[in-house]
Amino acid sequence: MACIRGRYRGYVGDYCCVPGCTNSRGSCRRAGLNVSFYKFPSDERRKRLWLLNIRRDSFVPTKYSRVCSAHFVGGVKHDEVKHPAYVPTIFDRNKPTKRATMTAKNAGVPEVKIPKRKEKSTCMSVSSAPAEIPGRPKMATQIHTIPYPDHDYVVKNVHVTTNDCDKINELIQENEMLKGKFLRIDNIKSDDSKFQFWTGLPNYHIFSALCNYLKTRVKGGSMSYWRGEATVYHQGTKKGPTRKLCFEDEFFLTLVKLKTGSCNQDLSDRFDVSVGHISNLFSTWINFLSFELKLLFEMQDSTEEVAECFKSFSNLKIILDCTELMVQKASNLDSRKKTFSNYKHHDTVKFLVGMSSNLAVNFVSKAWGGRASDKHITLSSEHLIDGLHCGDSVMADRGFTITDELSNLGVELLMPVFKGQDRPQFSIKDLSHSEYISKSRIHIERIIQRIKTFHILEQVIRLNMHDIIEQIFVVCAYMTNFQMPIIRKQNSL
């Protein structure tokens, strides 16, 4: 020990027992330094705090042990418990403990390295900064630690200047500003035009209502991610770590991809999730939405008032038309034979879309190759045929040559009149009737045009999307039912 070493080398005063500190009363006096040396406190709890901070292994203080004032805040020990100088907290841990090493060598004992202790968090109190005086530098705001009443550890003092506080406030403001630029629901839900641009829905209230309904369709408010056709959406919740995106954010992300057609890498950067997770999440939601929206709308009779343009047609059940999407050319010739469209002169995938007299999409067929005719798709759509009853009427274009098949079901087909080879010209009655049907039927084409405002359908469909393109088109078609009507129902054409 320092005091024993002093006795045998000629006592020159007290020594500091802190590892790495070389201060002694004699050397400090010769150097003109005003350094005080304090005995260890008699209070056992305070003594333990001192020993914990000093970090000197197997050290038992005696009546000669001292700690110099250089290790106390302000250079003076303080006896108030809440004062930062209540315990020694200023140490230079980086300097090697030369004295302890030399003592160990002199004693013939191998040097033992003391492992560093992990610093634990404690309560912190901030002392109020004094008022600034003009012409003087800004005072430092001192943050010191107060030990828990049931713990015996403290951490180092932290000094934060007023300039540091200003910098922190600037960073907080910058962080809030950057958060406002991210694509998040909270950032756009108050702006209807932005919300419609990103999601295709008129406003956040409709999005929230639909989201709340979908939550009721999933047990526990969560669903298993897509793992193929055997995935069950309505039973069980996902096991494993907590999802990074909540139910509402996942629904929002799916709508953004449908409306904007963004690639997975772009969405990965925007929502801070992996590209693989985006792909898995989108497949899950597109299958889930396709299933749920079909239950809501497919061949369902709406209770809303019939549009004015359809009131003169009695028992009008559905208005039909087909549309095609460009698809990537397959290398297999048999596949290209099925997808090549003579109408588009390109490989396409074809859908039959039905609209009710209430201007809502109420039927979407499965995906067909572009070679399939309108008649074949219509007669092969079992849900459509089963949804028609005797006395109903169907409106379609001239390409739907299904008059005889529908007549066998007692269903009337409303379509513009054919001129034919035996008729030199239309009669006035036929011309007027055909014109009125065409004026009414044009709205199904407007609905199809609205469906294609989801930009994911504007791209040439890649072959690796063949297993979900049907679900994508179904979701886009039925999502138009949540938008504003294409015409005002109280006004006639």
d(CA 5, CA 106): 12
Domain endpoint, select from 264, 295, 326:
295
Contact 256, 199 (CB under 8 A): yes
Domain co-membership, 133 together with 239: no
pTM score, whole prediction: 0.63
Helix (H) or strand (E) holding 342, with range, is none
Tokens of 220: 């526990």
Q: How confident is the model at residue 75 (pLDDT cuts 50, 70, 90)?
A: confident
Tokens of 455: 């930009």
d(CA 491, CA 484): 15
Contact 187, 199 (CB under 8 A): no
More confident residue, 96 or 219: 219
> What three-state secondary structure class fits 42?
coil
Note whether residue 275 is domain-resident.
yes
d(CA 37, CA 27): 13
Q: How confident is the model at residue 148 (pLDDT cuts 50, 70, 90)?
A: very low
Residues 6+ apart with CB under 8 A from 438: 416
- The identity of residue 14, as a single letter, is D
Which pLDDT tens digit goes with each residue over 204-231?
999 999 999 999 888 765 667 766 554 4
Domain endpoint, select from 260, 295, 330:
295
* Residue 300: predicted pLDDT: 79
Q: Write the DSSP symbol of residue 448.
A: H
Q: Which residue has the tokens 């968090």?
A: 121
Domain ranges, residue 169: 123-179
Q: How far is CA 90 from CA 70, 121, 350, 438, in A?
A: 7, 17, 77, 89
Domain co-membership, 345 together with 375: yes
CATH assignment at residue 438: 3.30.420.10
More confident residue, 143 or 190: 190
Domain co-membership, 327 together with 423: yes
Q: Edge-to-edge strand order for the sheet containing 140-146?
A: 123-126, 140-146, 158-161
